Amino acid sequence: MEIQRSDTGVVFIDPQNDVLSETGTTWAMVGASVTENGTVEHMERIFRAAKQEGYEVFISPHYFYPTDNGWMFNGPLEADELRTRTFARSGPLDLTGFTDSGADWLDRFKPYIDDGATIVAAPHKVFGPQTNDLVLQMRKRGIGKIILGGMLANLCVESHLREFLEQGFQVAVVKDATAGPRHPDWGDGYQAAIINYRFLAHWVPSTKEVIDRMVH
């Protein structure tokens, strides 16, 4: 997979406190995977390289508003997110209490996301980008190739990957710039995702491999 700034974008899913901070609501499930993969550090290295080399950067965030509590059915993870107020915001036009909340960006990512150049899409509401404007934002900028990372590996990241493939994008999923949950009954979400990435993605590089190609 060839990478060049003219048609390649970096996409990060849910670079938010609730899935990447020790204070986040999901840390008990994802913390070990985040730590072992060095996920935060690797995401930051890609952010830095993208900004230095002039690549477009896109964020697909996850937000829940009070009105989302009116949903009449949910999967197990959706139900748990609403119960624990994961990614909770006061409303689509209300930022009361947002700063440093679980829905806010991880502090070390804020300089890259809040620089006025990064494209923050509308929130995806379940797992994939079908419910937000991310694909439109990339198409409008001539993006045909994607460097993909973020959280959670087997849920939102894999769902984005599958939709991007159906939409005709070439996708590299950076294997150490993501992480997944571990559940005593359901298994290791990260390992499940890595298997599927290898079957599906055009490339499954490490952070070092993808940055080397971005720069050179």
**99-132, pLDDT tens digit by residue?**
999 999 999 999 999 999 999 999 999 999 999 9
CB-based burial label for 169 (10 Å; 0-12, 13-18, 19+): buried
pLDDT for 92 beyond 90:
yes
Read off the pLDDT of residues 130-163 as tens digits, 9 standing for 90 and up: 999 999 999 999 999 999 999 999 999 999 999 9
Predicted confidence at residue 163, as pLDDT, reads 98
Read off the pLDDT of residues 5-30 as tens digits, 9 standing for 90 and up: 999 999 999 999 999 999 999 999 99
pLDDT for 80 beyond 90:
no
pLDDT for 81 beyond 90:
no
Predicted confidence band at 76 (pLDDT cuts at 50, 70, 90)?
A: confident
Predicted confidence at residue 151, as pLDDT, reads 98
Average pLDDT estimate for 205-211: 98
Structure tokens of 151? 């959280």
Average pLDDT estimate for 165-169: 98
Predicted confidence at residue 4, as pLDDT, reads 96
Predicted confidence band at 216 (pLDDT cuts at 50, 70, 90)?
A: confident
**CATH architecture assigned to 8-215:** 3-Layer(aba) Sandwich (3.40)
CB pairs under 8 A, 24+ apart, for 193-199? Answer: 193/153, 193/154, 193/157, 193/158, 194/153, 196/154, 196/158, 197/158, 197/161, 197/173
Predicted confidence at residue 79, as pLDDT, reads 82
